[in-house]
Chains A and B, each alone.
Chain A
Amino acid sequence: MSAILRVQDLQTFYVLEVLGTRKVVKAVNGVSLDIHENEVYGIAGESGCGKTTLLRAMFGNIEPPLRHFGGKVLYRMDGEYLDALSLPLHKSREMRFTYIAYVPQGSMSIFNPVSKLRATFMDFLESHVPGTMRKSLLALAEKHLESLGLSARVLDAYPHQLSGGMRQRVSIALATLLRPRVILADEPTTALDVVAQRAVLQLLAAVQKELQNTIVLVTHDMGIHATIATRLGIMYAGKIVEEGYTPDVFASPLHPYTQFLIHSLPRIGDKRVRESAPGNPPSLLHLPPGCPFHPRCPYVLARCREEVPPLLEVTPGHRVACFLREVNHGTA
């Protein structure tokens, strides 16, 4: 299986200059990922660790104050890899939504308030596909909406007439409209109740199955990852700290942070107290030296304080950035 989207040592930082002093927020700090065709790649992680930023960079949408400091985002098109961050403007425009689509986090105000949703859908169609295809694509979008529990009539409504949940669903339908090869979904279900959430996931899964494309899904809901993700990446402080097939990660989380994440999940019928990771998430402004998790890590080693652990494969497909793996698995 070859990667359709390849992120190589990506570094994108927010550069702020307030009254002359320069602040650098290292939101994505050397991330490398291979995302394969026909998979759902889940990303979970600490809030504020750079997931949204990573997705924006993958979408090729780097605008001030976010700036690109290194690394590449490669799309595979017709067997070749194109760097999304250095494509000419018209080219990247063309690719957006036809090749790669994006559902932003908190997508409440992404629709033109003065036109009906149908018009917004048509705008995307007009910009990307010739006239003949528009009808059928729109019909497909209506079908998607219906499977999300929205009648096709919502297209004749104005955005403000819909509740947040409805809007969120519509934005997913919009992202799938042009049958993109890659869909980047940033917390697409946060505003939804579990029933609607299930419908959204069903749709994403169905679309994925139908198009054989790739979905990158960011959510805090480990349940969702468990349900839908093929592989799972765990981010912490601007880095991927663990990556592997979902069952592997759930079954044997290697990184202490992942362990906390999984073990802290509550279950209905179980009221035992859950422990969460001690301490506070680090500030991306002033990262601690060495492993960023070391101040909170119960198993901290001396070298953790000085060296940044590399992301290395432990078992096939399961990689972790932690010196502990040598302690636990290195011998195994």
Chain B
Amino acid sequence: MEILRELFRDYRFAVGFIFLVVLAILAFLSFFSPYDPVRWLQVPRDLAPSREHILGTNSKGQDVFWEATFAIRNSLIVALIAGFLSRVVAVLVGFLAGYKGGLADRVLMGVADGLLVIPLFLILVMVAMLLRDAMTIVNTGLLLAFFGWAWDARTIRSQILSLREREFTQTSILSGNGTMSLVTKEYLPFTIPLIFSTLISNIAWAIGMEIVLAILGLVRLEIPTLGTMLQWAISYQAMLLGYWWWILTPIVLTIVLLVALYWLSVSVSEYLDPRMRIQRIGVRET
């Protein structure tokens, strides 16, 4: 609680947090939606925002607001699965390769490099095509997670490599810490800002990728996500026909989501670095 209070003194954390809470509430609201997100012609079409439909309606006859609640929910699921799962893999692989070195390092980094050098997008498209019907929200997340860890594992590994050489590693060993606590207690704090910032870029990437896949029609277009919402709006020329509420909603939501994540990550990683925190406190007071 204390920590949260401290964090909330940073306006970026506060705003990011509030944004995220708002998005989470939106996502949660989807469970109470009066409309089925997949069905068409539930409301009159192409209505501008009004009291009845606060974000208007689209050409499919759906209420944009309620559709957006589903979209944000699903996109969050995709992004979180992709982000967290790939983080877990990246952290495990990075730590293992960096700390153990030797064969484990060679093999793991070989796999990571293999993933990195293949034009990832191409594979994504092919696998998305291969999975076809199986491109559910969860599977989309898993797929993105599968391709999203390699670079970050590499970065984490190199950080571990240099941390391994620092003297406090030995102090920790001398204090009787085993590999697990060494890694979690000594290295994790150093890598957390990195993990956070890669988490954010990974989530951003996942959301962007989902949008790209949607624009290419490679995910299930009926399931509302930020990407498919955008794709329908694009295909139905919402921009040129002046249905700005339709196209702007997913864009603004994407931006809000990423801004929130960005600020949260910046603020949290600053918080985790005592040097920076001290500086911040000093700066604020003088």
Contact = CB atoms under 8 A, between A and B. Distances in A.
User: Does a CB–CB distance below 8 Å link A and B in the complex?
Assistant: yes
A19 B283 contact: no
B278 A16 contact: yes
Contacts of A63: 279, 282
Contacts, number: 25
Interface in A79-129: none
A269 interface: no
Contacts of B6: 19-20
Interface string A60-82: 00011101000000000000000
Interface string A1-40: 0000000000000011101100000000000000000000
A19 B8 CA distance: 12
Interface residues of A, number: 9
B271 to A, nearest CB: 12
Contact of B278 (A19, A20, A64): A64
A64 B279 contact: yes
B286 A64 contact: yes
Nearest to B280: A64
Interface in B92-131: none
A65 B2 contact: no
A69 to B, nearest CB: 12
A17 B2 contact: no
A64 B282 contact: yes
A19 B281 contact: no
A65 B5 contact: no
A211 to B, nearest CB: 36
Contacts of A16: 278, 281
A20 B279 contact: no
A20 B5 CA distance: 9
A17 B281 contact: yes
Contact of A67 (B3, B5, B286): B286
A65 B286 contact: no
A64 B2 contact: no
A67 B279 CA distance: 11
A116 to B, nearest CB: 21
Q: Which interface residue of B2, B282, B286 has the most chain A CB atoms within 10 A?
A: B282
25 contacts: A15-B282, A15-B285, A16-B278, A16-B281, A17-B281, A19-B2, A19-B3, A19-B6, A20-B2, A20-B5, A20-B6, A63-B279, A63-B282, A64-B278, A64-B279, A64-B281, A64-B282, A64-B283, A64-B286, A65-B278, A65-B279, A65-B281, A65-B282, A67-B282, A67-B286
Interface of B: 2-3, 5-6, 278-279, 281-283, 285-286
The 7 A-B pairs at the shortest CB distance, nearest first, are namely A64-B282, A19-B2, A65-B278, A17-B281, A65-B282, A64-B279, A64-B283
Given A64-B281, A65-B279, A65-B281, 17 more contacts: A15-B285, A16-B278, A16-B281, A19-B2, A19-B3, A19-B6, A20-B5, A20-B6, A63-B279, A63-B282, A64-B278, A64-B279, A64-B282, A64-B286, A65-B278, A67-B282, A67-B286
Interface of A: 15-17, 19-20, 63-65, 67
